[in-house]
Amino acid sequence: MTKQLLAGEVALVTGAAGDLGAVFARALAEAGASVVLADLNGSKAETEAEELQNEGLQAFGVAMDVTSEESVADAFERSMSRFGTVTILVNAAALMKEIPTMDPLALDLTWWNRVMDVNLTGPLRTIRAAVPHMQALGRGKIVNVSSGGAFIPSGVYGVSKLGLVSLTTSLAKQLGSSGINVNALAPGHMNTSSGHEARHHDDALVAALSHAVALKTLGEAKDLVGGLLFLCSSQSDWVTGQTLSIDGGWIMRL
């Protein structure tokens, strides 16, 4: 990937210690951005950032709990003192594999509220923290990581991820005049350890899911990178409020 694509940009990625978040952070850094890797697991975020630093890339790891306004503000403050601004925000932090059951009728409501707090209100908290900085610059790119699960019945997870699609459109409408693009990415079934855990390592299920998509395979994290870089770069300057499905041809919306 050309290093010029995101030269001079500063990206903050939440969930950057996760299977996809770490790949997203690396891709943004390799494209020339300075990257803040933020995660509830601050030590893993720092380790991931150190790996990038060792390769001469600009990266910084920070602990951030997206369910706490205070923690989000603190992480943004630390990012600002390190890199001075934020021009790209990627919201990848979420609960998925941890959710005991997706069934709204069976799920304890404490869990229901926790999923909404992390997967839906979490991105809103980070967006609220990022927007003043982007407005001061008159530009910015926000990418919310939703899921193909938003568009099929998939319980609490799907509700949270469809909510994120809706939030994306509302904020795109509101922030367009500030030069801020707000889009979402909807990955499909991924060949990641988190994806396998969420599917309870059920090989028969994996075979059925792969068969159900047009391209007949699960996706690799690298398959999402082109779409991510598109939505984070000037190449998508006239694209906002959209959800880009990258899923091997699983969800086909007309």
Give the residue closest to ligand NAD by C-beta. 18
Task: Determine the 3-state secondary structure of 181 from DSSP.
Answer: strand
Pick the catalytic residue from 24, 151, 157, 250.
Answer: 157
Which parts of this chain interact with ligand NAD (CB under 6 A)? Answer: 14-15, 17-21, 39-41, 64-67, 92-97, 118, 145, 147, 187, 190, 192, 194-195
**H-run or E-run covering 245:** strand 243-246
Q: What pairs with residue 246 in β-bridges?
A: 187
Q: Which residue lies nearer to ligand NAD by CB, 124 or 139?
A: 124
Q: Which residue lies nearer to ligand NAD by CB, 206 or 239?
A: 206
In whole angstroms, how close is the CB of 187 to ligand NAD at the nearest point? 4
In whole angstroms, how close is the CB of 138 to ligand NAD at the nearest point? 28
DSSP class of residue 100? S
Q: Which residue lies nearer to ligand NAD by CB, 5 or 45?
A: 45
Smallest Cα–Cα separation from 59: which of 45, 74, 49?
A: 49
State how far the Cα of 30 lies from the Cα of 17, in Å rounded to an integer: 17
In whole angstroms, how close is the CB of 8 to ligand NAD at the nearest point? 26
Task: Determine the 3-state secondary structure of 214 from DSSP.
Answer: coil
Strands (E), 27-132: 34-39, 59-63, 88-91
* Residue 157: active-site member: yes
Residues marked active site are found at 157
